[in-house]
Structure formats: structure tokens, C-alpha cells
Structure 1
Amino acid sequence: MPQIRYSVLAFAVCTLSLAGPLQAKNTESLNYPTEAVSVPVVYNADPTVELSLEQIMADPDWLGRQPEDAHWSLDSQQVYFERKREGSELRDWYSRPLAAAGNGSVVPLSQLHQIGAAQISYNADRSMQAYVFEGDVFVRRVTDGELIQLTRDNAAQSAPEFLLDGRLVYREGWSWYAHDLATGQRIELVSLKTEDKPKAPATPSGYLAQEQHKLIEFVALQQQHAEQRFDAKKQLQQQNDSIAAPAIYLGKGQQIVGASLSPKADYLVVSVRKAGKANEKDIMPNYITGNGDIAAQKVRARVNDVNPEPQRVLLVSLQDGSSTELSYSSLPGYNEDVLAEVKAENAKARGEKYKSEKVIRAIGLMNDWYWSQSAIRWHRNGEQVALMLKALDNKDRWIATVDLKQKKLIPQHRLHDDAWVNYAFNDFGWLNNSESLYYLSEESGYSHLYVKPLKGKAKKLTEGSFEVAGPVLTHDDAYIYFQANVKHPGNYEVYRTVLETGKTEQLTKLGGNTSFTLSPDESKLLLNFSTNLKPNELYVADAVVGAEVKPLTDTISAEFKQLPLVAPQIVAVPSSHGKQPVFAKVYYPKDYQQGEKRRAVIFNHGAGYLQNSDLGWSGYFREFLFHNLLTQQGYVVMDMDYRASKGYGRDWRTAIYRRMGTPEIEDLADGVNWLVDNANVDRNRIGTYGGSYGGFMTFMALFTQPDLFQAGAALRPVSDWAYYNHAYTSNILNSPAIDPIAYQRSSPIYFTQGLKKPLLINAPMVDDNVFFQDVVRLVQRLIEQENNNFETAIYPVEPHGFRQPSSWLDEYRRIYKLFEQNL
């Protein structure tokens, strides 16, 4: 194995100020580090190797096929992970015992059911574990390792949990079954039906029907028998315990959003809403199909066409089958007109006057697309349940408990944001040994960890200008482990808070991006670590301060290790619009300060709320290698974490509220000025490019500040936010019906008349995220404006994220040609 050297000395002078809790309005005065930071990894690089687009855009197997979706074995003695099969899109599972060496071995298909899962459940004394494999339920005894398969059928089971009486409960669809491990008996506890409740047969109404029952004895007798059968079945269910309880009927036309059963199996909390209509307006033509026909594929609705349905939360008693709707009226702010200022501004623009009034807001479970956790959390004692609720206008998040006797919600925490509540940082749950909640909240301006007893004030466990994510509580309530960027916004390490003392301990100091998984016995950490120059690999360490970190995998290819890659420096670009700097990666060519002023390119990352100027391996690995190629040819390259990027707190995130494309382009202008002043760059030889949100930014830069860049490439770009999805867009711009000003202010299609410099538009045609229609409409507008400063390239078989190496190569040849010709 070639030796790998990590240099983290730069962090000695790059620590954050941790002086007390911060309010969101004060985050611009933070004392962020301003020194350039890099964490290089030195391989046995060959300085004579020159990068080529053909190599960069080839099938990424040549990088080495890194480990994916790793999880612990049930006995905490080995690790399982997936790895892409070379030359195929299939993945194989590998096992890597901690005591062994190498990259592990492929798990035979016949043994896959034995490897456990990322999500496992324990019984009360942690002597048994349960998980699901391919829709079947398995239980393992911790004491002797015996594995028991409970189900083996074509019905998909999910969400196994142990009840307090020792039985294991799991779901099939929206029916819950309890399995007695001692007797093998399986019973249906409750079943939810989105149908109307069956009614006793009644005599049909109307003159003819009533006369028929009077005149024809047979008809009347059949009616009498039907009524008797209905009553007999009802009496049998009431008086015979061997009969399954009747289903809970939620009504025709209803949709179940979420549901959770109490550990005592006495209550069920369920959220329902009116079922939405299928989206029939939007289709995506696919011109390249196996049968030669054009396929009209269904796609998601546009934000303009979505009106989210409010949810009803029901408390269902399994003892008597009764159902009670829990009123939201106890939630603070449930009837506030939180969009009053926005509505007034839009009304004024129409020449009208808006009068604010109280309004019952649409509310439901926190079930955002980004969030995979359950929004209903039972305490393991079965006596308490907490719900995370969200206003569908995106301005409030509540945590509330349920008074099971009074059947009402008790508010525990409200997080209000005048912009929008983040779809990240919503982890919450119960402490195991006390009736106290833990949760994340951005109320201080950063995501931090809190603990709150039910009848007391919340206690803040972490504080400072950094973000806490992914909290994991130990079963004895000793620690909460988490990931955070404490030392530098781009450096993510593993920490834990000691709940007894409130002290926070740092567990890793690897200097890049480190995430973790706590072992089932809670004694070890499985680490997924990467740097700017080193793709992710797996490591293991004891879950104690100062533990040695040991590598588990080395999957990076020899071909990649010989590349003479440039380690980007992370610099703090002074902002002309606030005291908080803009962090950016800068790739420098050799001797960049010598000779004539250099050409430069600024890359705009996508996804909006994403961080790319961190110290870990980037998901944009092709772009990273392309930037190295440009550097080899004398370019300076900058990759900015413009405002709205992740990692820098709430105010940075929400700076784009109702004005997407304004703060980000201001930051790009500061980046241009920094390159000119600090990197020997010619102001008149700078280009920009990016995909998705980065493509949108390229549009806005070239349309609204036409002298900022000399050329730009917009890849899979958004041109009109009213055509994008609801989940993402309504957070930032509200809805077009309420806030058309925000959409017109933020959509490039309204600013196309500003294009003066060469623009390349690359558009995949089967993109079900940013529709091809976005490019079609914008191109037609440019044509009608008689603007000839653009050209387009289409990719008939590609979705939002390209898959074919030939498409990647064609796209980047065009980008490279654009820069070579115009810079």
C-alpha cells in the first residue's frame, strides 16, 4: 500500500471564535478564519502525466470504485459495504472483518440475509435485534448469534420494533402485525383503510324501492337477512377475542402520510390528508426508446400547480377503536398571517391594498423530501409521544407532545423563520431514561443541539458559529454523538456531548470531511473520511477521545494515485455586502504570479443548499479533474460557496429568500475582484459555468451583470422558477399565486435582454428534475429578441445527472472550446 501523508498544520492558525451563543441577526459579524487552508494528500504522483478530457470523462470505474452504504455487522466485529461492479451499474456487498486486512471479500448471494442492515431495532434489554432484508423480517439473539427468519413471503414487511411485552411488531402496507417470538403466533393489531366505514344495509330510498319491499316478500326477506349478517359479524368481533379487531376506516379519498404504533400497542398516531390528483399537465417526451416510439413519461408537477393539502393528525385507541383528531389550536402561531408583508407588497404592485387577518394555517407532519426520519416519536416507555409538525407555508416548525388522556397537543418547541425553516437539521427524539426531548434547531443562527424536559426550559448543549448534524444518542443516555464543522466551515469532524456534564469532546482530527456510524455495541466508530484529493475510504476507531484511527479500505486506483493533482486552497474572499467572507476553492497553476496576467474560470456548484468549498472529496469529481486540467494549461480556477450554500449558518442560507440570483451574483463579482487583486488574473479573461442551480447562476450573471464574465456555460439550467418543483422552490420564493414578484425577480427568463457575451446552453432532454422545457422557452425568447450570442447543445438520452461517458465528453469539449475561444 503506498504511503499517504496528511498535512493539517494550516488548522493551527484557522480556529473559529466560539464566544457564546449567537442570534441569527448577528451572524454577519462572525470572526471567521481568513487564512488559506488546504489538506493535501500526497501519493506517488507522476509529474509528467497530463490530464485529458477523454480520461476525465470516462467511466468513473478508473478512480477505483469506492465503498458505499456501509454499515456494521450485528456483532460489531466487521463492516459491510457495497461496491460498484466493474463495468456494470450493479453493486456487490463486501464484508470486512476488523481483524482482517485488505478490502474484504464479496458476500455470496446465499448469505446476504445474514449481514443485517443499516437500520436495526433492539428489545428492552438489548438482547435481541431485528431488521428487514428484501421485505422479510429477521431477528438475531445477541447472546449466541442465532438468526431467526420470521417471515418469508411476497408481502413486504417494514419498520420492525419490539413491544414492551416482548413481541415484535412490523408493518405490511398500513397494517401492523405482532409476532410472539415464544409461541410463533402472529396477530393483526390494527389495519388502516382509506375507505368509508361499512354501514349496515339500509332499505333503498325512493318510491319504487319502498313499494318493492312492501309488495315482494322475497325482497324484504333478503334485506332482513343482510341486516342480521351485518349485526352478527359485529357482535362476533365484539365478544370473541380470537377475531381480529375491525379495521380503522379513514374515509374514501384520503391519503395516509405517516403513522406510528405505541410500544404498548394501545395507541396509534396517524396523519392523513386529502389524496391529491394525478399530475396530468406535465409529460416528458423521450425520443430514444427501445421500440422506436416516442414515450411520454410522467413527471412531477410544477410549483405553480401544487396546492399542498393540510393534514389531520388522529389519535387512534386500539382498545376501543375510537379516533380523535388532535387540534392544532394549541400551537403558537397556528393562525398567524405570516405572509402578510409579502401579500401586501404584491397587492401594492397590482394597485390594491391588502388587509391582514387571522388565518388557520395548513399544517402537517414534517415529511420533507430531504428528511428520511419519522416525524412521530414514541418514548420507549410507551407513555409519551412527540410529533414534529410543519406549517405548509414553510415558516414554522413545532415539536409537540400528546396528552393521551386529554387527547390534545402540548407544544414543546416552536422554530419560526421569516424566510423558511430548513429542510435539514430536523433530527429529534427522546432520551431513553427520562421524559426529555433532544432536538436540533437553527434558532441561534446555526444548527445546534438542545435538550428539553417536558415541563421545563430547553438547555442548549452546543454553541458557536458552526453547524451540528446527525445526532446519535447512546442507549444509556451517556453521550450524543454528532458531526460538526467547529474548527473551520469546511472541516467536518466527529464530536460527542457528555449529557451528565454538558461537555463536548472532539473524537476525530483527520482534517477533511468525516462522517460516522456508531457500532451496535456503541464501542466503535465506523468513519467515512475524504479530503479534496482523496476519495472516501472507510476507517475505524474506538469511541473514545484520542483513539487511533485505523484504515479499513484502500480502493483508490493506482492510475488515480499517479495523477499530479493540484490541491485547491480554501480562501476567504472579503464580501462587499457583509462582514462574513465568501469561502472559495482556488486552483493555482505553476508560477501563476509570473508573466502575463492569467485566464480564470469560476465554477458554480449546483443544488442551491450545498457546500463544495469544504475539505472533503467533492461529488463534482469530474469538475475537480477538469479544473486540474485547466490549471495545467495556465488557468486559475475558483469554486465559490456563494450565499445560500450549506455550512455557514442560517443567515447565509436564507440570503436568497425572494431574490434568488442577486446575492449569489454579488458574491461572484467579489470573487472576480479577488482573483484580479490576488491571483494575477486578467479581468477581461474570466469565464463562468455550472449545472442545475449553477446553470441558473450562469444565466443570471450573464443576463444581469453582462460585463462581469466574458463567456459562460449553463448546464441543465433553471430558467423560470415557476416551472420547478414545489418542495424546493416554495421554501425560497413562496408560491407564484402569493408572491409573483419573487418569481419575476428571480427567474432568468425575465432578464434575457441583458445577454451580450457568448453563452453555451447544454440541456439533457429526459431531465425529470429541470425540464427540457426550461431551455426551450428561454431559447425561444432569445430568438424573438434577435440575440445571436448563444448556442445550444442537446443530449437526447440524458437525465439531470449524465450517465454516458460520451455525453460527458461532448459537454466538456464544448465548455473547454468556449473558454479557449473567448478567454
Structure 2
Amino acid sequence: MKKIAIAVLLFLSTGLYAQNQPGKLTIDKIMADPKWIGSSPSNLQWSADGSILYFDWNPENAAADSTYFITKENRTPQKLASSRKNEILYHRNLVFNLSRSQALYQKDGDIFLMDTKTGKTRQITQTVASEMNPVFSFNEKRIVFQQQQDLYAWDPETGQLQQLISVQKTAPAESKQRSGSQEEWLKKDQLEWMEVIRERKEKKEATEAFTKSLPKPKQVRQLFTGDKMMRNLQISSDGRYISYTLFKPDQNGKRTIVPNYVTETGFTEDIPARTKVGSPSGTSELFVYDREKDSLHAVSLDSIPGIEDLPDYLKDYPTRLSAAKKTKRLLSVGRLSWSPSGSNAMVEIYSLDNKDRWIMQLIPSEGKLKLADRQRDEAWIGGPGIGSFSASAGWLNEHEYWFQSEVTGYSHLYKYTIQTGNKTALTQGSYEVQSVQVSKDGKYFFITTNEVHPGEKHFYRLSVTGRKPERITQLTGANQVVLSPDEKHLAILYSYSNKPWELYLQDNNPKAKAQQITNKAQSELFSSYTWRDPELVQVPAADGAMVPARFYRPANPDPSKPAVIFVHGAGYLQNAHKWWSSYFREYMFHNMLADQGYYVLDMDYRGSAGYGRDWRTAIYRHMGGKDLTDHIDGAKWLAKEHGVDAKRIGIYGGSYGGFITLMGLFTSPGTFAAGAALRPVTDWAHYNHGYTSNILNTPAEDSIAYRRSSPIYFAAGLQDHLLICHGMVDVNVHFQDVVRLNQRLIELGKENWQVAMYPMEDHGFVEPSSWTDEYKRIFNLFETVLKRRSN
């Protein structure tokens, strides 16, 4: 271990001299504050009337972005005075009535009503309390909003305000006496022997009886939550029904802490952090209150089709399978949507084991559910527009509901008809529908897909009847579109592999040409280097799959023929594409490596986004399986097809990429001569629940999956050179992961490994000094190990 450390330190001094030569990429330059690259616009938003497009931008290289704007007539960006920012009303914050003649919005905790034709605005509330979530209801005759958890209805004609419900934690407690108790005996004895007390009691009871016989004053219906939290409070469009869920979090999950050592106070401080995978989940219930009948329905989930279907992985645990057959699976109530007139509602329900999603029609008058669609996946439910946190769905009209499903293996668009129960596929093919918006008139969908190429994003118009989509954008790369309110113009954030994001404007017409609006994404310094357009290649895997990858080919390969494989993080993410990468630092680093004679391969391994369900779920129950063998096959491809020395291949990556780096060095020694694992997961049982339980289930329920997927169990296999870098205040992948692995490697007596700690960095580094230090260590590891000459 001492020899490699000394060699790295010796090379550090000579390497710094080479990096600072004029006209060359250096790590200091690449990892500096990203403002040196240029300024890309972001956060595109149209004004309420669609006459102005606002965006964040920083062409002046100031300390932070400012708000800029253009108009359809004047397309030269202008800076908005900071004093005017609070005046902006964004179109995306408006809630329209059916005819779109009126709109509601919330501002500074109050509710406003706007006439969309004249722009005249009327303030509805002006209170210290905060009002939110305004909607048109009671057949658009009243406006309903939420104050705290209570619902109110306001009549625009009379100005009358009515409270619809009052949400309380518990009902008032009633005084009860135990039968046969001492209190009961004393009360009876008093009434028997004390005449005045008996007379007063009789008068009181007579008064109460008379009061009860009088017409009751109007009261607000109270809804009680108990020890649960109310969520998703909604009213139907006709004002008759109020729906909500009650969520009960499990209080038994132990939360972790992250020690913060470098603080202003000089004392170590604890950062409260997440629970770990397998921590008990909360439960949710669905309720519908019928205002007309003053009745409350607790919607039963017990009869949902397939609720008792157990996941296949339990077959590996016969004892547990037998016990599981006697219980129903736990469910979570997701998104609920009322139809335009309020006569129908659709609700999404998910199994907590992540295997099922049901779209159910809610029959509100009965508080019952009817199946519209069930999607089951023995791995886990996911994909674009699918999932409890990213559901994409809504109503076309009173009787047609649209949603996305991966039932064919790719996320596509479907329509469900209430009267017939028919489901119609509106898109199909080996590509993904990645975003959906319905036109104002309800006749079209505006969708973004990767139909042209998995590495491109284009905007289309599609009839609700499901004919062939009409492609609107033409620029090769990624087109992130924000449609104008009148649907006549596209505001586009566009980028290509070696060109950062710029703003374009285009008419909503397939024959129209996009006009570039901004041109500051590349500074003069950034443009002085000829950035590579990485080759998009297909790497054959051992199982016959073709793995998409970016390939950086050196113009002058080093005589030792070294190569580096980069592993992107996030697991479910795409990086072998034709747009400016979120891994822009790594992209620049790969250009520098190619300049230094390295071949560089960046793979969209199994588990990556953009390629459909089978690619996404190929890592189910075995992370470090096909996702790792894809990289091993990548190493073989580099040697076979490009003459790379198989003994001079390095690997590196952060987060999930750090995990794969560890698995590669631990389970396939000799494949990668050196690896840099940045902020790596070392034991999946210590990661979060939302991500990990999808892929590996939970440690208590599927110990097999965790045992074969966690690097710490394979640390004995380390033979090659390993660098670990980790931020100490990482609240995502905790520094504890590295500490535990560190101890394991010590106990195993391993050599040729080292750990670099960053005391003030979270999961995503912030300080340029940290980025620079980290990547100098990575570069010098590769230079020392991969280029060293044989004796």
C-alpha cells in the first residue's frame, strides 16, 4: 500500500506541471466553478396570457441567475428588475374553468379570481391564514379552497362564504361511568335522598329535551383524523362529494444521523437523516363524504382483484410463503382525479411490495371501486409516467380517462372508456412516451418520446383517437418543450452531445424552423477547445444484448493502450445519448483522458433509463449482476475491437457507479487494474427504502437478494488498486458505508487501497476544490497504474 501511495504523490507534482501547460485541458480548469463554461437558460415559464416567456439565466456571470424574458414580438432577452419578480403571474399556476373564461390562482397565501379575456382580477381572500388549492366546483357556481385542512366555498355572485367541512383530530370525549362503580352508586344515592338535586336534574332534562325538539342550527360537518394525517383533500366538480385519504405513518422506523464535524460552532453536530430500507411503511385509507346525504364512506380495498397474489420471490422462502398466504398485501392509495362534471372519479392504488398498480373507478355514491386497469410486474412497477410519485394521467371528457402503462414492455399511452370498460392503446412500438399534455380543446395529446432514437427527445402532436403522432421538433438531440398557453408556440431548451443547453422558439408546426434565442451557453474559453462528439456504439453482451454506450476514441493512443470505463450513477438514468449530459464534468474529463491517450467507454448498462421495462428491471434481485457483466463485456470489447491492453483497463463512477466499481474489483479481480469508487453504496441494507425496496425487496424479506448484491460481502476478492472518495456529510449514501467497508478491508489485510474524505461535502459535491482534489486523485491513479511500464 505504501508503494502505490508514494507513486501517486510523486506523480501528483509532475502531473500538475503537465496539466497547467497553455492550450490543454486541465483538471483545475474542468472542475472550476461551472460558470466558466457559460450560461444556459433554465426554468422556462409562460406568463398567464402567454405574451411573455420568462426564464432564469446568467449571461453576466453574476453570483446567481436572474430572471430574463422575451416576448413574441421582441425576442431579444431582457433582464427583469428584481423588484418586479413578485408581479409575475405564471400560466402554470392557473386553474381554469371548463370554458377557460376564468382562472383561479394563489398568491402570497390568498386566492384570486381572474377574467382571462380582460385580465381583470378579483381578490377572494385576504387573511392572515394561508389559503390554497382553489378549484371551481358546484357546477362552476362557487369557488372552493382550502384553509389549513378545512374546505370553504365562496359564491362570486353573493360574496357568501360557507365552510364545508372542519377537520378535527379527535371527536369530543364523552363522560362515561363504569357500571357498578363507586361513582355510579354515589350518584344514585344522592338523587334518592336529596330532593333539591332531584328536582334540578328533572328541570335540566326537560330543558334539554325541549332544546332538542327545536330546529337544529346549521352545523359544519366534522371529519376526524385520529392519529392519522389527512392527504389529497378534494371536492368533486358538482360539489357533492369530498374525497381524502388518511395516512398513518409507522412510528417504529429508526432514523439515522449524519455527524457534521466541521461546523461554525466548533462542535460536532448531528444532521437528522433518513430511515434505512425495510423500515416499516405507513398505511393509507380512502374516504368519500357525500354532502347531499351527509354520509361518510370508508372505501374498502379488500376486494381489489389480485390483492392476495403474492410476489414470486417468496418461493425462495417456503416458510414465509406459507405464512404470507394467510394475509392480504398492504396497499397505498395514490392519485385520485374527479371527472369534469364530478360524476366519476379514478384512483390509483399500489401494493407496498411494488408489484401491482391498479387504476380503479370510484363509484362515489356507494363508496365502492371497480377495476379499470391492473398492471403487475414481478420486478417492480415503474417507467416514465408510472408510479406513485410520477403518475401521468387525467380525463379527456366525462367518460374517457387516459393513463400510461408499461404492459407492452415500454411506457405507452392508453385510453379507458367508462361506459364500455374498453382500453385503447394510443401509442405503440419499441420506444417510450416520456411526457404527456392534453390540448385545451381535448382533441390532442402533446407528447415527448424517444421514438426517433433512444438517445433523442422529440415533441409530437397526437390525436386522442390514437393515429400516428406528428413530429413537431426537428433538431437532433434533446428538445425539452414548454408549450405556450395558446398552444401556438414552443419554447424549447435544446442541447446536443457537445453543445450545452440553449433556448429556442418555434411555431407549433412540423414545417416551422426553430429560432435560437440565447447564445451564451459556451463561453469563449470553453469554445476554444474542440469538444468531442462521442460515438454512440453498441457493445455486445454475453447474453446477446447490445449495450448502448458513448465511446471516446483518442486521436493519438498512448503506446500502452490504456482504457477507462465510466459508470453513471443513479442506476435508473441515461447517459449514452445525444444531448448535453448532467455529467458534464465527467464529459470534459473524458475528453482530457482521450487527449492523454486513453480510450473511454461510458455505458448505459442494464438498469438504465430510456430502453423500456426489460432493460430497467434486468437488475431485479441482483444488483451487481447484469449491470456489472455489461461492463466486463465492455472491457472485453475494448480489447478485442480496439486493441486495448486488457491489463490496463480502469473503471470509475459515483454513487451507483461507485457501487459497480466496488463489485467489479471485488468479484472480477484482474478485469480492472484500477478503480475509483466515489460515494459508493457498500451495503444495500443501509440505503433508503423508496429506491432499494423496488429492486431488492427488503432485507428481512429477501436476504438472498441483499447478500448477492452488496459489495461488503465480497471485499475478500480485492486484488487490484482501489481509491474510495466520499463526502462525510452525505445524507444520501452515508459515510457510514465507507467506514464499515474500511474496517472490513483492514480486517482482511488488504493492500493497494486508500480512502479520501471530504469533511464538508454532501452526496453531490459543491466546492470546486473538492471536485478538483477528487479528480486529480482519480487521474493520478489511472496514470500510475494503467500507464506504468512493465519491468
1:330 and 1:411 in contact (8 A); partners too: no
Indicate yes or no: 2:405 matched with 1:441: yes
> Aligned partners of 2:372, 2:591: CA distance in 1, in Å?
51
- Is the alpha carbon distance of 1:82 and 1:124 closer, same or farther for their aligned partners in structure 2, counting shifts above 3 Å? same
Runs of 4+ that moved beyond 6 A? 85-89, 216-236
Deviations 1:340-383 (A, max 9, x none): x42231348xxx985772531111123xxxxxxxx111111111
| Cα deviation, residue 102, structure 1 | 2.9
The amino acid across from 2:275 in the alignment is A
2:167 and 2:222 in contact (8 A); partners too: yes
> Aligned partners of 1:235, 1:258: CA distance in 2, in Å?
38
| Cα deviation, residue 201, structure 1 | 4.5
> Aligned partners of 1:559, 1:184: CA distance in 2, in Å?
61
Matched with 2:328 is: 360
Of 258, 262, 265 in structure 2, the residue corresponding to residue 284 of structure 1 is: 258
Matched with 2:296 is: 323
| Cα deviation, residue 552, structure 1 | 2.9
> Aligned partners of 1:233, 1:394: CA distance in 2, in Å?
55
1:610 and 1:646 in contact (8 A); partners too: yes
1:604 and 1:689 in contact (8 A); partners too: yes
> Aligned partners of 2:58, 2:178: CA distance in 1, in Å?
64
Of 122, 133, 143 in structure 1, the residue corresponding to residue 96 of structure 2 is: 122
1:446 and 1:465 in contact (8 A); partners too: yes
| Cα deviation, residue 802, structure 1 | 0.8
> Aligned partners of 1:228, 1:282: CA distance in 2, in Å?
61
Task: Give the paired residue count.
Answer: 755
| Cα deviation, residue 501, structure 1 | 5.8
Matched with 1:451 is: 415
1:512 and 1:530 in contact (8 A); partners too: yes
1:201 and 1:223 in contact (8 A); partners too: no
Of 496, 500, 503 in structure 2, the residue corresponding to residue 531 of structure 1 is: 496
Matched with 2:306 is: 333
Matched with 1:411 is: 371
Matches within 5 A, 1:183-332: 183-193=158-168, 195-202=169-176, 207-210=181-184, 213=187, 215=190, 239-241=216-218, 245-251=220-226, 253-277=227-251, 279-304=253-278, 306-332=279-305
Matched with 1:490 is: 455
| Cα deviation, residue 224, structure 1 | 10
- Is the alpha carbon distance of 1:148 and 1:48 closer, same or farther for their aligned partners in structure 2, counting shifts above 3 Å? farther
Of 140, 147, 153 in structure 2, the residue corresponding to residue 172 of structure 1 is: 147
Matched with 2:49 is: 75
| Cα deviation, residue 296, structure 1 | 1.3
Deviations 1:212-236 (A, max 9, x none): 6554999999999999999999999
Matched residue SS, 2:474: coil
Indicate yes or no: 2:132 matched with 1:158: yes
> Aligned partners of 1:765, 1:198: CA distance in 2, in Å?
49
> Aligned partners of 1:608, 1:233: CA distance in 2, in Å?
68
> Aligned partners of 2:212, 2:718: CA distance in 1, in Å?
73
| Cα deviation, residue 685, structure 1 | 1.3
> Aligned partners of 1:152, 1:793: CA distance in 2, in Å?
55
> Aligned partners of 2:589, 2:612: CA distance in 1, in Å?
30
Q: Tell me, which stretches of 5 or more residues in structure 1 are unaligned?
A: 1-46, 367-374
Matched with 2:10 is: none
- Is the alpha carbon distance of 1:413 and 1:569 closer, same or farther for their aligned partners in structure 2, counting shifts above 3 Å? same
> Aligned partners of 1:85, 1:262: CA distance in 2, in Å?
47
- Is the alpha carbon distance of 1:307 and 1:85 closer, same or farther for their aligned partners in structure 2, counting shifts above 3 Å? farther
> Aligned partners of 2:256, 2:665: CA distance in 1, in Å?
29
**Quick one: percent identity of the two aligned structures?**
38
Indicate yes or no: 2:757 matched with 1:815: no
| Cα deviation, residue 524, structure 1 | 2.1
Indicate yes or no: 2:672 matched with 1:709: yes
Matched residue SS, 2:701: coil
Matched residue SS, 1:516: strand
- Is the alpha carbon distance of 1:146 and 1:744 closer, same or farther for their aligned partners in structure 2, counting shifts above 3 Å? same
The amino acid across from 1:336 in the alignment is D
Indicate yes or no: 2:575 matched with 1:630: no
**Stretch moving more, 196-205 or 448-457:** 196-205
> Aligned partners of 1:768, 1:472: CA distance in 2, in Å?
35
The amino acid across from 2:376 in the alignment is H
> Aligned partners of 2:211, 2:643: CA distance in 1, in Å?
86
Matched with 1:33 is: none
The amino acid across from 2:416 in the alignment is K
1:258 and 1:271 in contact (8 A); partners too: yes
| Cα deviation, residue 678, structure 1 | 2.8
Matched residue SS, 1:511: coil
> Aligned partners of 1:406, 1:476: CA distance in 2, in Å?
32
2:482 and 2:492 in contact (8 A); partners too: yes
Deviations 1:31-72 (A, max 9, x none): xxxxxxxxxxxxxxxx98321111211111222332222111
**Stretch moving more, 459-468 or 49-58:** 49-58
> Aligned partners of 1:584, 1:322: CA distance in 2, in Å?
59
Deviations 1:614-648 (A, max 9, x none): 11111111111111111221211111000000001
> Aligned partners of 2:102, 2:200: CA distance in 1, in Å?
54
Deviations 1:295-350 (A, max 9, x none): 1121110013x12233211112233542212122342201112x2x42231348xx
The amino acid across from 1:429 in the alignment is A
Matched residue SS, 2:645: strand
The amino acid across from 1:783 in the alignment is I
Please tell me the root mean square deviation across aligned C-alpha atoms, in Å: 2.9
> Aligned partners of 1:327, 1:53: CA distance in 2, in Å?
60
2:570 and 2:656 in contact (8 A); partners too: yes
2:152 and 2:161 in contact (8 A); partners too: yes
> Aligned partners of 1:265, 1:232: CA distance in 2, in Å?
34
1:116 and 1:133 in contact (8 A); partners too: no
> Aligned partners of 1:63, 1:232: CA distance in 2, in Å?
82
The amino acid across from 2:331 in the alignment is I
Matches within 5 A, 1:724-803: 724-803=687-766
1:336 and 1:358 in contact (8 A); partners too: no
> Aligned partners of 2:206, 2:90: CA distance in 1, in Å?
51
Q: Tell me, which stretches of 5 or more residues in structure 2 are unaligned?
A: 1-20, 787-791
The amino acid across from 1:64 in the alignment is G
The amino acid across from 2:516 in the alignment is P
> Aligned partners of 2:668, 2:211: CA distance in 1, in Å?
75
> Aligned partners of 1:225, 1:788: CA distance in 2, in Å?
93
> Aligned partners of 2:313, 2:763: CA distance in 1, in Å?
33
The amino acid across from 1:382 in the alignment is G
Deviations 1:442-466 (A, max 9, x none): 0000001111202232111111110
| Cα deviation, residue 677, structure 1 | 2.6
**Stretch moving more, 672-681 or 379-388:** 672-681
**Normalized against structure 1, the TM-score is what?**
0.86
- Is the alpha carbon distance of 1:587 and 1:333 closer, same or farther for their aligned partners in structure 2, counting shifts above 3 Å? same
- Is the alpha carbon distance of 1:109 and 1:149 closer, same or farther for their aligned partners in structure 2, counting shifts above 3 Å? farther
Of 60, 64, 84 in structure 1, the residue corresponding to residue 34 of structure 2 is: 60
> Aligned partners of 1:227, 1:144: CA distance in 2, in Å?
61
- Is the alpha carbon distance of 1:347 and 1:777 closer, same or farther for their aligned partners in structure 2, counting shifts above 3 Å? farther
Matched residue SS, 2:457: strand
- Is the alpha carbon distance of 1:820 and 1:233 closer, same or farther for their aligned partners in structure 2, counting shifts above 3 Å? farther
